[in-house]
Amino acid sequence: MGTVKAGFWVLVVCVAFIFFFQNYNELQHPVVVTLNAYFKSWTSTPIHLWMFLILFFLLGFIVSSLYSAYERIVLKRELKVLRAVKPAAPEKAKS
């Protein structure tokens, strides 16, 4: 199973490198983010598209990790309550 996992991740990394190198010129294109609110207009400095890709990937990873940690804490707390409420198992009669 470890060999299959390793092969899968090697394939994912190869596809990512192919994507990057074939789209290098497009990923170098600077992007300007503009926010037009009713009271103020804001414009960012030009940022390369590949930086946005990395930023949003990391943002998604952090958000999903925090949600997963929160769910784990909730489930541990629930398990602790269930173990405290669980009645003791009856002993078997010895013959």
DSSP per-residue codes, 10-46: HHHHHHHHHHHHHTHHHHTSEE--EEE-SS-EEEPPP
Q: Is 21 part of any domain?
A: yes
* 70 inside domain: yes
DSSP state of 86: S
- The whole-number pLDDT of residue 66 equals 97
Output the pLDDT for position 19: 87
Report how many domains make up the chain: 1
* Mean of pLDDT over the chain: 88
37: left (phi over 0), alpha (psi -120 to 50) or beta: beta
Q: Quick one: pLDDT at residue 88? A: 63
**Tokens standing for residue 91:** 């002993």
Judge whether 91 lies within some domain. no
* Gyration radius of the chain over CA positions: 25
15: in domain: yes
Which tokens sit at 23?
Answer: 């789209």
Q: Is residue 92 part of a domain?
A: no
Q: 32 is in which domain, residue-wise? A: 2-85
The answer to whether position 94 is within a domain reads: no
pLDDT of 90 over the 90 cut: no
Q: Is residue 79 part of a domain?
A: yes
Contact 31, 49 (CB under 8 A): yes
Tokens of 51: 């930086």
Confidence of residue 12 (pLDDT cuts 50, 70, 90): very high
